[in-house]
């Protein structure tokens, strides 16, 4: 049951609920928006034959080996995460946040459907790095499809607002997950922490996780007292 799963929001201070959260009781609206988000990427870029040929994506047999596909997927995740880390920090500059990124932060307590909810310009900005990895390490069309599916599932899980105890992603080194990103949404425009979208190493290396570390230490101290 949903209420039996620990919510990351229970570990955070009271939220400021954004306007779009008032629509949380209309799943049909979110389903349509999420479906449109998938379709516009699927047909707009990933099935564009000229773009795929330019990137060097193969569409013919043989299919890639498991080792080849997994190694390329690892490259795609690392490249996307690193580039998006800096783009996300850029979107938190005053003008870009007020005019573009604020829409995404209307969800101060995010849910899965909040992942694709963003200004159209932000969709272009943070969506473009997903093509850099396949361009640097081109593989088979099947690998590209797997990459897009896994990347969307990761974005949804990151915004789900729950720390699922049995999720396999908790075994991935440096994986951020819902708790890591939930803190960023809760702080909102004032956030200077947890900018990475997938892993945590960028925030650690560039020392942008201090607020989150303080928050975790405070929670642990509160539980022990």
pLDDT digits (tens, 9 = 90+) for 86-137: 999 999 999 999 999 999 998 888 888 788 888 989 988 998 899 999 999 9
Point out the least confidently predicted range of 2-16, 98-112, 134-148: 2-16
What's the rounded Cα separation, in Å, for the pair 5 and 158?
15
What's the rounded Cα separation, in Å, for the pair 196 and 184?
10
More confident call, 7 vs 94: 94
pLDDT digits (tens, 9 = 90+) for 86-97: 999 999 999 999
Counts of helices then strands in the chain (DSSP H, E): 10, 0
Residue of 56, 43, 57 lying closest to 141 (CA atoms): 57
DSSP 175: B
- pTM for this structure? 0.78
Residue of 173, 163, 10 lying closest to 81 (CA atoms): 173
Query: Do residues 44 and 217 lie in contact, with contact meaning Cβ atoms separated by under 8 Å?
Result: no
Buried b (16+ CB within 10 A) or exposed e, 29-48: ebeeebeebeeebeeebbee
pLDDT (average), residues 65-82: 97
What's the rounded Cα separation, in Å, for the pair 26 and 214?
36
pLDDT digits (tens, 9 = 90+) for 180-224: 998 898 887 777 889 999 999 999 999 888 888 887 887 777 777
């Amino acid at each position: 049951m949903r209420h039996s799963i620990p919510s990351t929001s229970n570990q955070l201070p009271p939220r400021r609920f954004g306007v779009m959260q008032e629509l949380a009781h209309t799943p049909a609206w979110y389903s349509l928006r999420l479906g449109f988000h998938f379709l516009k990427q699927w047909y707009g870029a990933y099935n564009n034959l000229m773009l795929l040929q330019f990137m060097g994506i193969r569409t013919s047999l043989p299919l890639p080996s498991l080792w080849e596909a997994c190694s390329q997927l690892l490259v795609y995740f690392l490249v996307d995460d690193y580039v998006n880390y800096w783009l996300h920090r850029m979107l938190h500059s005053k003008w870009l946040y007020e005019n573009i990124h604020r829409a995404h932060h209307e969800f101060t307590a995010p849910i899965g459907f909040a992942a694709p909810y963003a200004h159209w310009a932000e969709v272009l900005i943070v969506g473009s790095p997903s093509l850099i990895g396949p361009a640097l390490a081109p593989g088979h069309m099947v690998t590209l499809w797997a990459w897009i599916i896994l990347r969307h599932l990761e974005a949804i899980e990151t915004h789900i607002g729950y720390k699922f105890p049995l999720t396999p992603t908790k075994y991935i080194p440096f994986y951020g997950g819902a708790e890591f990103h939930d803190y960023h949404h809760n702080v909102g425009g004032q956030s200077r922490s947890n900018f990475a979208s997938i892993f945590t190493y960028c925030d650690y290396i560039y020392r942008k996780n201090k607020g989150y570390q303080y928050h975790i230490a405070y929670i642990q101290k509160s539980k022990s007292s």
